[in-house]
Amino acid sequence: MIHHIDNYPSDRRQDLLASMFADRKALFVDFFGWDVPVVDGLYEIDQFDTAGALYIIIADETGGHAASLRLLPTTAPHMLGTIFSQLCPLGAPVGDDVWESTRLCLPRRHGAARRRALRNELISAMVDVALERGIARYIGVLPEGFRKEVLAMGWRAEPLGPAVRTAGGTVGAFLVHIDPETPKRLCWTQTYIHADREIAA
């Protein structure tokens, strides 16, 4: 089951959200060692987790968090426009039809093959959301190895600047264009999944 959650503070699915924030803490803080805010010692919730964020969450068979990502409107504060602005020498694209993709959370407990399948399902859902909501471009920041993989997935994509070495490793900014041909292009690399995704309202 895939959940699209807007305005998360008032959403009824607080247990699912809590399990997502807990998995984010386990992955990004405990495993990767990121220096990011932790709430109550349990949940990774930062300044961009606001009512304006859109979460795409895959729930497991128990209703808990399996994998997720966060989408942010670039007309509000977002990571490339603030924390990582140095990654975009020409400036980060902004606009009503430009959103930032961030916090891709694929818990380690799944194993490599399952994480890859969940990643593809999230990317597919992210493309579907863009086509439904009139989002023409996604931007984001990724570790350089993963950025190269994302840029080669088949969609129209480009770097927004050079890779930059940081305390947490080498990272770079990217942009992908979304249009009706995107699902077909992502199928070239078996990234887009043609499936009847059950979306929870």
CATH code at 62?
Answer: 3.40.630.30
Q: What is the mean pLDDT of the chain?
A: 94
Q: What is the amino acid identity at position 171?
A: V
| 7 vs 51: CA distance, rounded Å | 4
- Using 50, 70 and 90 to split pLDDT, how confident is the model at 14? very high
Of the candidates 167, 170, 172, which has an alpha carbon nearest to the alpha carbon of residue 33?
Answer: 167
- Is 173 within 8 Å of 199 (Cβ atoms)? no
Q: What is the pTM of this model?
A: 0.94
Domain count, the chain: 1
Q: What is the pLDDT of residue 29?
A: 95
- Using 50, 70 and 90 to split pLDDT, how confident is the model at 169? confident
Angle of CA points 50, 155, 112, to nearest 5°: 70
* Residue 112 predicted with pLDDT over 80: yes
Query: pLDDT for 122-143, tens place per residue?
Result: 999 999 999 999 999 999 999 9
The widest CA-to-CA distance across the chain, in whole angstroms, is 45
- Can you give the residue range of the structural domain that contains 52? 2-200
| 119 vs 80: CA distance, rounded Å | 22
* Residue 182 predicted with pLDDT over 70: yes
- Is 45 within 8 Å of 21 (Cβ atoms)? yes
Chain Cα centroid distance, residue 135: 14
